[in-house]
Amino acid sequence: MSFTLELGASAPDFSLKATDGQTYSLDSFATAKALVIFFTCNHCPFVVGSDEVTRQTAEKYRELGVAFAGINANSETTHPDDSYGHMVKRMEEQNFPWLYLRDDTQETARAYGALRTPHFFVFDQDRKLVYTGRGVDNPRETAKMTVNDLDNALSQLLAGQAITTPLTNPIGCNVKWDGQDAHWMPSEACDLV
């Protein structure tokens, strides 16, 4: 079995606290036509560089029944800026159109096989994985991006079409695993394509 969730797999459940103080699970999104789970954080230049494009995509598809949930699984020991308190502050400043969840134990990140920040997982109405990888092809400098893979996947999914590019490599900083060097990756983690 590969480290990262494979296409067609069911979304792993979770129980995570959001910056609004509430705890959410997969059932919290039961009415959504599609669900985008993405691993993100407070500081990564690839996240910060692409947040506004992700915001535009989330706002575009929210009216069409797509829910977005960002999960920060980074170790606050490795990167103190990724603490829950800093997440709350960032949400207050940015007012992102998604729930921002904290994965303190990193169990959810392991269940999904999150590789980088950001790393997107798109699930259909049955919560089967139909797309995973990057949001855009240049998340650090979106002025230079040429493709928005996340937007393309959602557009095709909602149109009932096959997703032409269901798998891409996420582009960003690696997840900061607790007790490990900041650049450590699990041995079973690998490129998706």
Residue 36 lies in a domain: yes
pLDDT digits (tens, 9 = 90+) for 123-167: 999 999 999 999 999 999 999 999 999 999 999 999 999 999 999
Q: How many Cα atoms within 13 Å fall on the side-chain side of residue 74? A: 32
pLDDT mean over 108-130? 97
Name residue 184's amino acid.
W
The structural domain count of the chain equals 1
Residue 44 lies in a domain: yes
Residue 164 lies in a domain: yes
Q: How far is CA 121 from each of CA 81, 150, 169, 174, rounded to the nearest angstrom?
A: 24, 9, 12, 16
- The parent domain of residue 102 ranges over 9-174
For residue 105, the tally of other CB atoms under 10 A from its CB is: 11
pLDDT of residue 1: 45
Element (H, E) at 55: helix 45-62
Q: How many Cα atoms within 13 Å fall on the side-chain side of residue 35? A: 23
Task: Please tell me the total number of residues recorded for the chain in this structure.
Answer: 193
Identify any residues that bridge with 99 across adjacent strands, giving them in sequence order: 69
Residue 82 lies in a domain: yes
Residue 114 lies in a domain: yes
Task: Band the pLDDT of 112: cuts 50, 70, 90.
Answer: very high
Q: What φ, ψ does residue 132 adopt, rounded to 5°? A: -150, 145
CATH number for the domain spanning 147: value is 3.40.30.10
Q: The whole model's pTM is what?
A: 0.96
Residue 182 lies in a domain: no
Residue 192 pLDDT exceeds 90 = no
**Spatial distance between the Cα atoms of 176 and 5, rounded to a whole number of angstroms:** 19
User: By C-alpha distance, which of 96, 108, 78 is closest to 177?
Assistant: 78
pLDDT of residue 87: 98
Identify any residues that bridge with 102 across adjacent strands, giving them in sequence order: 17, 72
pLDDT mean over 28-52? 97
Residue 60 lies in a domain: yes
pLDDT of residue 189: 80
Q: Pull the structure tokens for residue 19.
A: 């910056």
Residue 193 pLDDT exceeds 90 = no
